[in-house]
């Protein structure tokens, strides 16, 4: 059985990473859009680092595609927040890595930036390989959505599949083939406590998907609690 604690600091793929800065001229505008949503997720507790949650490990990350939509699978370059940057109060270009190539079968990711990429990189890559129309992925941790995923009919990966692995990437792609995931644009990670992933054509669209499902989850929680909610 997998460890129920989502230790996001542990990279489970082979990271072939070059430590060199990203180019502000090329990536600055998109990074600012990602930082805006990362800040929103941080302020709402959906991304961050808390000694009382997940044994103190950071949680949550954001990414967005760069380059032409027509790039081949395994070569759909994207920006993603670096490993264990979720708890950083100030975020800039240096907290992002550029994923250039990835290979599920070899469990290998090639990237560059001032930090190594998030341990969830394979999951983001899997969604980008599903469709060129997917240009942004947000990974948040929401207990209220995760615990009500079945009730809300949110596609969910197998609880025995750990995060950050080729098996998780392939599981996400199977969900896209066998469920309504491409239409509803949200999935729950069954073996990754509170892990929720949303996606869209832009950061704004992906953020809107997350807010919609948060609202639905809290609505269900309100009804279950007898027409009331108590903030934890």
* Residue 4 located in a structural domain: no
Write out the E strands in the chain: 14-18, 48-49, 58-59, 61-65, 78-81, 96-103, 108-113, 136-141, 186-188, 195-200
Q: In terms of Cα–Cα distance, which of 200, 60, 82, 85 is closest to 140? A: 60
- For the ranges 30-34, 74-78, 115-119, the lowest mean pLDDT is seen at 115-119
The pLDDT value recorded for residue 230 is: 58
- Split at pLDDT 50, 70, 90, the class of 3 is very low
* Residue 204 located in a structural domain: yes
What do you get for the CA distance between the two ends of the chain, in Å?
A: 29
Angle at 68 between CA 189 and CA 107, to 5 degrees: 40
pLDDT 10s digits, 71-94:
999 999 999 999 887 777 888 999
Asked if residue 48 has pLDDT above 60, the reply is yes
The pLDDT value recorded for residue 68 is: 86
* Residue 2 located in a structural domain: no
- Domain encompassing residue 27: 14-224
The pLDDT value recorded for residue 1 is: 26
* Residue 9 located in a structural domain: no
* Residue 203 located in a structural domain: yes
Average pLDDT over residues 191-198: 94
* Residue 156 located in a structural domain: yes
* Residue 1 located in a structural domain: no
Q: In terms of Cα–Cα distance, which of 165, 175, 63 is closest to 119? A: 165
- Token readout for 193 is 């406590």
The pLDDT value recorded for residue 123 is: 94
- Token readout for 146 is 């995760």
pLDDT 10s digits, 205-216:
999 999 999 999
The pLDDT value recorded for residue 55 is: 78
pLDDT 10s digits, 137-172:
999 999 999 999 999 999 999 999 988 888 999 999
CATH code for position 44: 3.40.225.10
Asked if residue 105 has pLDDT above 50, the reply is yes
Q: Please tell me the total count of domains within the chain.
A: 1
The pLDDT value recorded for residue 190 is: 95
Report if pTM > 0.85. Answer: yes
* Residue 127 located in a structural domain: yes
């Amino acid at each position: 059985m997998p460890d129920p604690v989502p230790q996001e600091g542990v990279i489970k793929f082979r990271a072939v990473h070059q430590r060199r800065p990203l180019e502000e001229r090329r990536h600055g505008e998109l990074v600012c859009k990602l930082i805006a949503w990362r800040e929103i997720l941080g302020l709402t507790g959906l991304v961050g680092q808390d000694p009382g949650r997940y044994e103190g490990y950071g949680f949550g990350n954001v990414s967005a595609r760069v380059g032409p939509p027509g790039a081949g699978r395994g070569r759909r370059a994207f920006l993603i927040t670096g490993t264990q940057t979720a708890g950083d109060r100030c975020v800039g270009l240096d907290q992002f890595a550029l994923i250039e190539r990835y290979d599920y079968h070899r469990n290998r990711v090639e990237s560059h930036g001032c930090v190594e990429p998030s341990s969830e990189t394979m999951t983001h890559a899997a969604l980008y390989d599903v469709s060129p129309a997917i240009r942004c992925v947000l990974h948040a941790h929401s207990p209220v959505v995760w615990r009500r995923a079945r009730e809300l009919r949110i596609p969910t990966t197998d609880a025995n599949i750990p995060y950050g692995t080729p098996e998780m990437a392939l599981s996400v792609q199977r969900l896209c083939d066998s469920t309504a995931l491409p239409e509803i644009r949200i999935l729950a990670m069954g073996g990754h406590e509170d892990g929720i992933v949303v996606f869209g054509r832009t950061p704004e669209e992906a953020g809107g998907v997350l807010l919609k499902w948060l609202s639905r989850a809290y609505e269900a929680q309100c009804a279950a609690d007898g027409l009331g909610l108590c903030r934890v």
